[in-house]
Amino acid sequence: MPRRERNKFVKRGEHIEILIEDYAFGGKGIGRIRSEEGEFVVFVPNTLPGQLVKAQVKKTSKRYAECKLLEVVKHADTEVEMPYQSIPGAPYIKLPLELQHQYKKESTLELFKRIGKVSDIEEKFDEFIASPGAFHYRNKMEYGFSAIRYDHELKTDVDEFALGFKKRGTWWCGENLDKDSGLFDKEVEDHLKTIRAFCEESGLAPWHAPRKEGFFRFLVVRKSYHTNQLLFNLVTTSPDIPKFDFDGFTQLFKELFGERLAGILHTINDETGDRTLATTGSSRLLYGEEKIIEELLGLRFEISMKSFFQTNPAAAERLYEKVVSYALERKDTIDGKIVMDLFCGTGTIGQIVASRSTDAQIIGVDIVASAIEDAKKNANRNQINGVQFFAADVGKFLNEHPEYQGKIETIILDPARAGIAPKTLRKVIRLGAERMVYVSCNPATQARDTEQLIEAGYTLKKISLVDQFPHTAHIETIALFEK
Ligand SMILES: C[S@@+](CC[C@H](N)C(=O)[O-])C[C@H]1O[C@@H](n2cnc3c(N)ncnc32)[C@H](O)[C@@H]1O
């Protein structure tokens, strides 16, 4: 085993108190220990510049240490009070949006300098696109049931029924969400404690993660901003199904949400893993419809519990507008041409490009068969011609279709967080497109791919950032590459 390099500043397991001075990409606060021996860097995720924090050292190397946040000892002067319940999914909610934007922009551009080797990245920077709504912007939430609850007053775990989110940094312990978190639908979250009380009164057990047993597992909610309707999915295990009052449960939701209630599903998940939906296990409709309709840039989409859909539709519209504007900037490479939409998901980008061009042929490829089915249905519903969708791995698809080499002028790429596998990227490069519009939800992998694209003769022309998830560390980037 390689020997870990030691440092003279901190030891693994040690508790330290440190002032956070800076922000690194991905939501890590940076602290510095200074001594005559030099400067030592400490990363503490989910912290803000200006905070004094207690942290535990998890990993060390010669020049830096990675820590886990234990407690914020003193808040930063920049933090503001919020009327929302704080949740692990929104670690930066107390930081004013302008500062969140500034940190996200600086740390992302820095990545492209360091990993992508684009030294003049500031000159390529085009626009920072904010989310139209900074609060209550999500259209989906997954609340977990837990038999172990974290009590913030007692500062310990207690054996009690909980419904909400996992306590940050644990897999076994939940926290109750008692009111609006500021991220999803206020009415749903304000009513969550009533739903919890109904479930608790049934006497059936919530999921006990260490023992891997219990009846109640998840409550998933999807919302349409177009119709303001809500679709719920109660996920449970199967043995106690006959003991649960599903009619009473449905009645409660009708009373709480009235006209807003589109439907309620019940899904069985007997698998012990932490996933909401089991690969096995069935779903049945308890009430109403199993789909809701959403509208995006004038196009209509049918959304079921399983389909992928952008989580912040209003910000997704802005993201798509930017992607399409980069693609259509040179209409001569689109009109009457074949355009590839790789990693196309439900095919939204390809459909928008098709609807705004003349005789373009869009080829959409995604590995998830159900997403491709939705893409085809959505294209039919929106009466969009000239689109073809394929359920396949992008690398395999390009192997099996050498006829496209040299025939494509514009490629749109929107890979998942892991980025594009280097082998697949080489195949994409071999298509010989003049232009690539590369969308990424993980700029770190995009910065890595940028270096490979530059080596292959592409130039990074422009880059825009889209803040789809305010109060989190996430940021999306749209980069335009040209030969
Ligand atoms: C960020 S999403 C794309 C979203 C899509 N552009 C949209 O706007 O709806 C990334 C997509 O990559 C797909 N994917 C991941 N690995 C893949 C592979 N090897 N080949 C094809 N598609 C893949 C995922 O199924 C997912 O739909």
Nearest protein CA to atom 4 of ligand 1, as residue = 345
The reported pTM is 0.89
Name the residue type at position 417: R
Number of C-alpha atoms within 13 angstroms, CB side, residue 50?
10
**Rounded CA separation 424/430 (Å):** 10
**Rounded CA separation 406/224 (Å):** 42
Nearest-CA neighbor of 337 among 325, 328, 346? 328
Which residue blocks in 39-120 are alpha helix, DSSP H? 97-114
**Strand duo 38-45 + 125-129: pairing:** unpaired
Name the residue type at position 424: T
Q: What is the pLDDT of residue 301?
A: 84
Q: What is the pLDDT of residue 122?
A: 96
**Block means of pLDDT (10 residues each) for the chain, length 483 residues?**
68 94 90 88 93 95 91 93 93 93 95 94 97 96 97 91 93 95 97 98 97 96 95 96 98 98 96 76 92 87 81 95 95 92 93 93 94 90 92 96 94 94 96 97 95 96 98 96 96
Q: What is the pLDDT of residue 3?
A: 56
**Rounded CA separation 222/175 (Å):** 21
Q: What is the pLDDT of residue 275?
A: 78
What structural domains does the chain harbor? 15-79 (2.40.50.140), 101-133+311-482 (3.40.50.150), 140-296 (2.40.50.1070)
Mutate-to-test residue for ligand 1 from 367, 390, 436, highest number of ligand atoms within 8 A of CB: 367
The enclosing H or E element of 278 equals none
Between the CA of 344 and the centroid of ligand 1 the distance, in Å, is: 6
**Rounded CA separation 483/481 (Å):** 7
Nearest protein CA to atom 10 of ligand 1, as residue = 416
Between the CA of 347 and the centroid of ligand 1 the distance, in Å, is: 10
Nearest protein CA to atom 26 of ligand 1, as residue = 345
Closest ligand 1 atom to residue 349 Cα is: 8
Catalytic site positions: 441
- Buried b vs exposed e over 324-347: b needs ≥16 C-beta within 10 Å? bebbbbeeebbeebbbbbbbbbbb
The conformation of residue 206, written as its DSSP 8-state character, comes to B
Closest ligand 1 atom to residue 371 Cα is: 27
Q: What is the pLDDT of residue 371?
A: 87
Between the CA of 370 and the centroid of ligand 1 the distance, in Å, is: 12
Nearest protein CA to atom 15 of ligand 1, as residue = 416
Q: What is the pLDDT of residue 278?
A: 65
Closest ligand 1 atom to residue 320 Cα is: 8
Nearest protein CA to atom 6 of ligand 1, as residue = 344
Mutate-to-test residue for ligand 1 from 299, 312, 322, 343, highest number of ligand atoms within 8 A of CB: 343
Closest ligand 1 atom to residue 417 Cα is: 1
Between the CA of 20 and the centroid of ligand 1 the distance, in Å, is: 36
Do the Cβ atoms of 192 and 178 come closer than 8 Å?
Answer: yes
Between the CA of 296 and the centroid of ligand 1 the distance, in Å, is: 19
Tokens standing for 399?
A: 């192997």
Give just the sign of the alpha carbon dihedral 92, 101, 468, 273.
negative
Q: Which residues lie with the beta carbon below 6 Å from any ligand 1 atom?
A: 308, 343-346, 348-349, 365-368, 371, 393-394, 414-416, 441
Between the CA of 317 and the centroid of ligand 1 the distance, in Å, is: 18
Which residues does the annotation place in the binding site for S-adenosyl-L-methionine?
310, 343, 366, 414
